[in-house]
Amino acid sequence: MSADNEIYTQLDRITDHLATMTKQERIAWFRRSAYAQPLNFTREIDGTVYAVRAFFKEDARENITDKVQRIILKSDDNNKEISFKFYVDGKQEKEKVTGDYGLGKGAEYVMNMDNMSLDVVSKNFKKVKVEVQYNVHMVKDGYAVMRLRYKPKNGKEVSWKTESSDLLDEKITKYFSYELDRTDVEYFWIEFDANGGGDDEYDLDNILFKVTYLEK
């Protein structure tokens, strides 16, 4: 396993652990986990001494503690989320299909995967690969959050992945790819939110959601 993959694996484990906690439990966890350590230090690696210095923007509107709490602990009550629910079975009638545009802010879009059968894919495939891509552009400073869930055919909805992106002045393209070791998924649900205080705002376009079933 590469160093990058190991880091991401550990971050996923921590995120999954935090997702099971209440807000108060998460605050207590951060307080226990945080420790004071000089931000300026030197370290010798293979005979070379590296000097590390930390610099901060004096007129920043928030400190690092405020930023972490805004990203992880708060929810945005002023801006409603927009979400897309993709049913694997193209003939499902549990929810009314809305199409993929026209509902506006705070909407939940519901779509069926045409020409797909949940029974067929669950019997003939072992894994499913999910790819998400979208363009995001800052309107007001903050963070863009993407949450991904799924619901097994005979089970409760599962919170699967969460990605947070610092909004930038220029338009950026975000891409994420995941694999799931089960194919009995009734639907995938993806939500976009402006996390933190009410000032977060961004434009979103060219959303791509791709599901690929992998053979046994």
* Tally of structural domains, the chain: 2
Question: Residues 164, 115: one domain?
Answer: yes
- Segment 45-75, tens digit of pLDDT: 888 888 877 766 666 666 665 565 555 544 4
Question: Residues 135, 195: one domain?
Answer: yes
- The number of angstroms, rounded, from the C-alpha of 119 to the middle of its chain's C-alpha atoms is 28
Query: What pLDDT score was predicted for residue 150?
Result: 96
Average pLDDT over residues 16-35: 74
Q: For residue 88, name the pLDDT band (cuts at 50, 70, 90).
A: very high
Query: What mean pLDDT, rounded, does the chain reach?
Result: 79
Whole-prediction pTM: 0.61
Does residue 75 lie in a domain region?
Answer: no
CA dihedral of 34, 69, 12, 184, whole degrees rounded to 10: 150
Question: Residues 132, 173: one domain?
Answer: yes
If you count them, how many residues does the chain have?
216
Question: What is the DSSP secondary-structure string of 181-214?
Answer: S---EEEEEEEEEEESSTT-EEEEEEEEEEEEEE
Query: What pLDDT score was predicted for residue 31?
Result: 73
Which region, left, alpha or beta, applies to residue 8 given φ > 0 means left and ψ of -120 to 50 means alpha? Answer: alpha
Residue 143, domain extent: 82-215
> Do the beta carbons of residue 204 and residue 136 sit within 8 Å?
yes
- Segment 154-196, tens digit of pLDDT: 999 999 998 887 777 678 889 999 999 999 999 999 998 865 5
